[in-house]
Amino acid sequence: MQKHALATSLLALSAVTPVFAQEARGVNPADIDSRIDLIVKRVNLDQDGTTDVVTVKFDYKLNSNWGVNFELPAYTKLSVPGLSASGNGDLFARARYIQPTTSGWIYGASFEVVAPAASKDEIGTGRWQGNVGALAVKPWTRAFLTAFVVKQTTSLGGDADRAKFSNTEIRFVPVMMLPDGWALSGEVRQTWEHRSDASWQRVEGTLNKQFSAQWAGSLGYSRDFGDRKDRGAFSAAVKYFF
């Protein structure tokens, strides 16, 4: 009887999850895909300046539970009064583990290493990082899911003249699937910097579109508040799945 109940629960879970992947791939934070993203973002800084970033991201699915990805801001341009700097940013490397459960919840964990690879001090931290995260995703219906994320960012070795840091962030991410490959996702984020007692918040919304089985795109807007506020950021991304 217990085996039958377990099989029924697994079938119910598998009936929900593929819908998200087929309608708009990569918008469910629990998805593990093989894909390449090209992301362009402009941040309007609070100091009457801008940061423009072109990021290349590579994700590779090892199996149904494990994935790895690499992320590099290939070109960053910082423009503020009295300062202009451009070049590549720090290099991110991550491993992710995802585990569905019979309750419908999907849990995950991640480990991230950041190498201080930025070509200019102004656009990098100068510090190695060892970061960990945890994820919980719940598909409530075939068209709506929510995700909860906790991440700890910690500086390790690196340039002794650069500031150390230790950040904790929590994120709430709702995702709504729409007809014809459209999806709308949001994010509310709270970050605490433990060494300086600074804290800041982010509110973000993204409109996603799956054009074909391989190609997708998105447009997003975010705004930061608190101790690291900005005047809004716009982003656009093109994604290729393979």
Share of the chain above pLDDT 70, in %: 91
- What own/partner pairs with CB < 8 Å and gap ≥ 24 does 24-27 have? 24/177, 24/178, 24/181, 24/182, 24/183, 24/208, 24/209, 24/210, 24/216, 25/210, 25/216, 25/239, 25/241, 26/208, 26/216, 26/239, 26/241, 27/175, 27/177, 27/183, 27/185, 27/206, 27/208
Please give the average per-residue pLDDT across 12-38, as a whole number. Answer: 73
Compute and round to an integer the Cα radius of gyration of the chain.
19
Q: pLDDT at position 18, please?
A: 40
Q: pLDDT at position 13, please?
A: 43
Please give the average per-residue pLDDT across 212-222, as a whole number. Answer: 97
Q: How many CA atoms lie within 13 A of 128 on its CB side?
A: 5
This prediction has a pTM of 0.87
Task: Look over the chain and give the mean of its residue pLDDT values, rounded to a whole number.
Answer: 92
Q: Is the pLDDT of residue 47 over 90?
A: no
Residue 197's pLDDT band (cuts 50, 70, 90): confident
Q: What is the pLDDT of residues 49-86, one digit of tens each?
A: 999 999 999 999 999 999 999 999 999 999 999 999 99
The alpha helices in the chain, defined as continuous H runs, are 2-23
Q: pLDDT at position 23, please?
A: 79
Please give the average per-residue pLDDT across 8-25, as a whole number. Answer: 50
For residues 175 and 148, is the Cβ–Cβ distance under 8 A? no
Q: Is the pLDDT of residue 9 over 80?
A: no
